[in-house]
Amino acid sequence: MLLLLMIFIFSLLISNLMIMLSLILAKKSFNDLEKLSAFECGFDPKSSARLPFSLHFFLITIIFLIFDVEIVLIMPMITILNICQMMHWFIVSTLFILILLAGLYYEWNNNMLNWTN
């Protein structure tokens, strides 16, 4: 038990030492605005180097990822149909799909699925 405690303390000290060392060695100067500006062959940039971000595109991406994860969660339900009891499988599947449909209804009600905005 004492050996385990010593190993834990030793690993904690080494990890803290590494974090402190990286913070000391990785100091960057934020005062040099010339290095932070966009590079266009030595000329001053004509427009902003950063493009505006579309929040609508971000929401569509998040909705796609949510539906993608839902498909990944539904696929094993089909494969375990033969293994588990039919009543338990039916209850769990129905609850899961009802929760997904409630989320879809919520998104539809808040016009999150409207692609033409």
Q: What is the DSSP string of 74-117?
A: HHHHHHTTTTS-HHHHHHHHHHHHHHHHHHHHHHHHTTTT-TT-
pLDDT at 117 over 60: no
Q: In this structure, is residue 46 part of a structural domain? A: no
Q: In this structure, is residue 31 part of a structural domain? A: yes
Q: Distance between CA atoms of 16 and 63, rounded to whole angstroms?
A: 39
pLDDT at 48 over 80: no
Phi-psi region of 41 (alpha: psi -120 to 50; beta: other; left: phi over 0): left
Query: Residues, the chain, total?
Result: 117
Instruction: Provide the 8-state DSSP code for 51.
Output: P
Q: Is residue 62 domain-shared with residue 20, that is, in the same domain?
A: no
pLDDT grade, residue 17 (50/70/90)? Answer: very high
pTM greater than the 0.85 cutoff: no
Q: In this structure, is residue 115 part of a structural domain? A: no
Q: Is residue 60 domain-shared with residue 105, that is, in the same domain?
A: yes
Q: What percent of the chain is predicted at pLDDT more than 70? A: 76
Domain that holds residue 18: 2-36
Number of domains composing the chain:
2
